[in-house]
C-alpha cells in the first residue's frame, strides 16, 4: 500500500471528479467502478491526456482505499464525487497499485482512423459518461489511444494534437447498434437498380456511361444477393485505418476522382474546375473505336482505336493488367478510359480530374495515384426540384440535340442511386459535396482540393503502404516520406 498525493490547481469550488465526471473545466479524467469479486473501488478508465493520466500516479485497475483520509470501505462509487467535492485545491488518494512500474503495459503503437459515421454523445443514451465522450463527424481523423475495452475505445481528434482522449464507440459496438436499431442498414438497393428490365434515365454524358449502368445493375443485384444471403448483412462502415504521409516537394498532385449518380452534376463541377484554372487541372483523353469526325483530332478529343486493339486492352483487363480503368459499349462502339491516360495528365504536373463509376475506383486505389475521392451527392428532393428547374442534360452524347429536362423520376433515381453508392463505396470517399446550389458546391470543392493539395500531411489508407504480405516488403521499402 502506498500513499499518494495528487495536486493540481483549479479555480472551481467542485474538485474534478471521478465517475460521474462533473462538468468542471478540468475533470480528473478517470472513471471508477466497484470490483464485483472483492467489492473494492477500482479505477476503470484513465482518459488519455487528462490530469490523472498526466500525473502518472493513477492507473487503470488501481484500487482506491481512501480519498482525503476517508476510507472507501463499504462505500459505493456514486458516493465518491461528494467526497471529492469537499477537497479544496488538492485531492489525496490512498491506492493499491494494480501494477508495479516494471509490470506496466508498454505503450501501444499509434493507431489513426478515419471515422465513417457521425457520433454525437449528447444523443447517445448508452454512453457511460457523456462528458467523457468525444463527438466526431464522418471524415474526421481520430487517434485511437486505447482499444482495450470491447465496447468503448478512447480516442482524440488528430487535429487537436494534445487534446484529452475520450470515449468513442468501438467498431463492434457501433456495428451491433446499427444492426439492432436499423434493420434497414442491411443493404437495400433501390428496385430500379436490381431489375435490368426497367430502363434508366438517360443521363448519358459520355457514351461509356451506358456501359457503367449495366455493370452497376449487376453489381447492385450481386450486393443484394450477398446481403440477404447466408452471410447476413453488409456491416455498416465504422472506422478506416489511415496513416500520415508527409509529402515530398517533388511529389506530384494526387489524382482527384469525382463520382456521383447520373445527372447530379459531376461534369458541371469538373467543367468549372477546368475553366477556373486550366493550367492546374486536366482531364484524360478517352479511347473509342468509332470513326473520327472531321473536327476531331487524335489524342485531343479521343484516341481512336481499332476494335481489335481495343479488345486486346479489354483482354489485358481480364488477365489483371488493367489497361482500362473502365470501358463500355454504346451504339456499337467501344469507349474507355485507360490507366496510362491518367499517368499522362499527372506527368504534365496537373491535377487529373477523373470521373468514373465508384466500382472502378479500386483500379487506381494505390500509392501511385493517391486518389482523393469526392462524392457528389444530390441534395434533398425539394432542393433538386428548385435548383434543376431549368437544367437540361444531354440524353445522348452522339446526338447532342437530344436534351431534356429532369423528371420527378430522374430525381428519385438520382437519390436512390446516391444512397446505393454510399452504401457500397462510402468507405472510399474522402469528401462529400452536396450539389444543391452549384456555385456554393463548386466553391466548396475548389477550396477543399486546394486545402488537400497544400496539406503537409496527407491521411491515406494504411493499405496503400502495407498491402497484404506478398508484396508488402517491396512497396514499404521504397518509401521515404513516412512519419
Ligand atoms: N447544382 C446545380 N443546379 C442546377 N443545375 C445543375 C446543378 N448541377 C448540375 N446542373 C445541371 O444539370 C445537368 C446535368 O449535370 P451534369 O452533366 O454535370 O451531370 P453528371 O453528373 O455529369 O451526369 P451525366 O453524366 O449523366 O450527365 C447539366 O445541365 C448541369 O448544368
Residue nearest to atom 9 of ligand 1 (CA): 265
Confidence of residue 232 (pLDDT cuts 50, 70, 90): very low
Check pocket membership of 267 for ligand 1, CB cut-off 6 A: yes
Query: Is the separation of the CB atoms in 47 and 166 below 8 Å?
Result: yes
367 vs 385: CA distance, rounded Å: 40
CA distances from 470 to 210, 221, 297, 362 (A): 37, 32, 44, 19
Query: Is the separation of the CB atoms in 314 and 324 below 8 Å?
Result: yes
Distance of CA 403 to the CA centre of its chain: 36
Highest mean pLDDT among 381-395, 398-412, 469-483: 381-395
What's the whole-number mean pLDDT along residues 177-200?
Answer: 47
Rounded to the nearest whole angstrom, what is the distance from the C-alpha of residue 263 to the centroid of ligand 1?
5
Using CA of residue 71, residue 74, residue 77, residue 80, what is the dihedral sign? Answer: negative
Prediction ipTM score: 0.97
Counting atoms of ligand 1 from 1, which one is nearest the CA of 270? 18
Rounded to the nearest whole angstrom, what is the distance from the C-alpha of residue 395 to the centroid of ligand 1?
12
Residue nearest to atom 10 of ligand 1 (CA): 265
Q: Residue 1's pLDDT is what?
A: 32
Rounded to the nearest whole angstrom, what is the distance from the C-alpha of residue 117 to the centroid of ligand 1?
28
The residue whose grid cell reads 491506492 is: 95
Share of the chain above pLDDT 90, in %: 42
Check pocket membership of 313 for ligand 1, CB cut-off 6 A: no
Mutate to test the pocket of ligand 1, among 393, 411, 415, 442 (most ligand atoms within 8 A of CB): 393
Rounded to the nearest whole angstrom, what is the distance from the C-alpha of residue 410 to the centroid of ligand 1?
12
Q: Residue 401's pLDDT is what?
A: 66
Q: Residue 158's pLDDT is what?
A: 84
pLDDT in tens, 73-122: 888 888 887 777 776 666 777 887 776 555 555 555 678 999 999 999 99
pLDDT in tens, 120-151: 999 998 888 888 899 999 999 999 988 888 99
96 vs 99: CA distance, rounded Å: 9
Pairwise pLDDT comparison (181 vs 399), residue with the higher score: 181
163 vs 159: CA distance, rounded Å: 9
400 vs 398: CA distance, rounded Å: 6
Highest mean pLDDT among 173-187, 217-231, 311-325: 311-325
Confidence of residue 431 (pLDDT cuts 50, 70, 90): very high
Q: How many CA atoms lie within 13 A of 108 on its CB side?
A: 11
Counting atoms of ligand 1 from 1, which one is nearest the CA of 376? 21
Mutate to test the pocket of ligand 1, among 202, 216, 268, 383 (most ligand atoms within 8 A of CB): 268
Q: Residue 388's pLDDT is what?
A: 95
Give Cβ neighbours of residue 116 (< 8 Å, ≥ 6 apart).
138, 237, 238, 239, 240, 426, 427
Q: Residue 203's pLDDT is what?
A: 28
- Whether the model clears a pTM of 0.80, i.e. scores above it, the answer is no
Rounded to the nearest whole angstrom, what is the distance from the C-alpha of residue 266 to the centroid of ligand 1?
7
Check pocket membership of 435 for ligand 1, CB cut-off 6 A: yes
Confidence of residue 331 (pLDDT cuts 50, 70, 90): confident
Check pocket membership of 266 for ligand 1, CB cut-off 6 A: yes
> For the residues of 154-203, what is the DSSP string, one character each?
EEEEGGGSSPPPEEEE-HHHHHHHHHHH-GGGS----HHHH-TTSPPP--
128 vs 45: CA distance, rounded Å: 11
Could you give the angle at which helices 438-454 and 266-276 cross, rounded to 10 degrees? 60
Check pocket membership of 258 for ligand 1, CB cut-off 6 A: no
Residue nearest to atom 22 of ligand 1 (CA): 267
Q: Within a 10 A sphere around the Cβ of 394, how many other Cβ atoms?
A: 18
Amino acid at each position: 500500500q502506498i500513499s499518494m498525493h495528487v495536486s493540481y490547481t483549479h479555480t472551481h469550488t467542485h474538485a474534478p471528479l471521478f465517475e460521474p465526471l462533473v462538468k468542471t473545466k478540468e475533470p480528473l479524467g478517470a472513471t471508477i467502478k466497484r470490483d464485483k469479486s472483492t467489492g473494492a473501488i477500482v479505477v476503470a478508465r484513465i482518459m488519455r491526456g487528462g490530469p490523472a493520466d498526466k500525473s502518472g500516479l493513477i492507473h487503470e485497475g488501481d484500487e482506491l482505499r481512501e480519498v482525503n483520509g476517508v476510507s472507501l470501505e463499504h462505500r459505493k462509487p456514486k458516493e465518491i464525487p461528494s467526497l471529492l467535492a469537499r477537497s479544496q485545491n488538492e485531492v489525496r488518494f490512498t491506492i493499491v497499485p494494480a501494477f508495479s512500474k516494471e509490470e506496466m503495459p508498454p505503450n501501444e503503437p499509434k493507431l489513426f482512423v478515419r471515422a465513417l459515421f457521425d457520433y454525437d454523445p449528447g444523443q447517445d443514451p448508452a454512453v457511460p459518461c457523456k462528458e467523457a465522450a468525444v463527438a466526431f463527424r464522418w471524415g474526421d481523423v481520430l487517434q485511437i489511444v486505447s482499444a482495450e475495452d470491447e465496447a468503448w475505445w478512447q480516442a482524440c481528434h488528430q487535429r487537436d494534437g494534445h487534446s484529452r482522449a475520450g470515449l468513442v464507440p468501438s467498431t463492434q459496438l457501433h456495428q451491433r447498434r446499427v444492426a439492432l436499431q436499423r434493420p434497414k442498414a442491411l443493404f437495400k438497393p433501390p428496385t430500379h437498380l436490381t431489375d435490368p428490365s426497367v430502363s434508366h434515365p438517360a443521363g448519358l454524358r459520355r457514351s461509356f456511361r451506358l456501359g457503367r449502368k449495366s455493370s452497376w445493375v449487376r453489381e447492385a443485384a450481386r450486393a443484394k444477393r450477398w446481403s440477404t444471403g447466408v452471410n447476413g448483412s453488409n456491416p455498416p462502415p465504422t472506422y478506416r485505418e489511415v496513416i500520415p504521409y508527409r509529402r515530398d516537394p517533388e511529389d506530384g498532385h494526387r489524382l482527384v476522382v469525382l463520382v456521383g449518380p447520373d445527372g447530379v452534376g459531376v461534369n458541371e463541377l469538373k467543367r468549372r474546375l477546368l475553366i477556373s484554372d486550366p493550367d492546374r487541372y486536366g482531364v484524360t483523353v478517352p479511347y473509342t473505336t468509332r470513326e473520327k469526325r472531321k473536327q476531331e483530332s487524335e489524342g485531343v478529343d479521343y484516341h481512336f482505336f481499332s476494335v481489335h486493339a481495343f479488345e486486346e486492352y479489354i483482354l489485358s483487363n481480364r488477365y489483371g493488367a488493367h489497361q482500362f480503368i473502365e470501358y463500355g459499349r454504346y451504339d456499337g462502339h467501344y469507349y474507355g478510359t485507360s490507366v496510362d491516360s491518367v499517368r499522362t495528365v499527372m506527368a504534365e504536373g496537373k491535377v487529373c480530374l477523373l470521373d468514373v463509376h465508384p466500382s472502378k475506383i479500386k483500379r487506381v486505389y494505390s500509392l501511385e495515384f493517391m486518389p482523393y475521392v469526392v462524392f457528389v451527392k444530390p441534395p434533398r428532393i425539394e432542393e433538386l426540384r428548385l435548383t434543376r428547374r431549368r437544367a437540361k442534360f444531354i440524353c445522348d452524347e452522339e446526338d447532342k440535340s437530344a436534351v431534356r429536362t429532369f423528371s420527378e423520376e430522374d430525381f428519385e433515381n438520382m437519390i436512390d442511386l446516391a444512397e446505393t453508392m454510399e452504401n457500397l463505396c462510402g468507405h472510399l470517399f474522402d469528401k462529400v459535396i452536396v450539389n444543391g446550389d452549384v456555385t456554393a458546391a463548386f466553391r466548396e470543392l475548389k477550396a477543399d482540393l486546394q486545402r488537400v493539395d497544400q496539406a503537409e500531411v496527407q491521411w491515406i489508407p494504411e493499405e496503400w503502404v502495407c498491402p497484404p504480405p506478398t508484396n508488402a516488403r517491396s512497396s514499404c521499402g521504397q518509401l521515404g516520406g513516412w512519419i
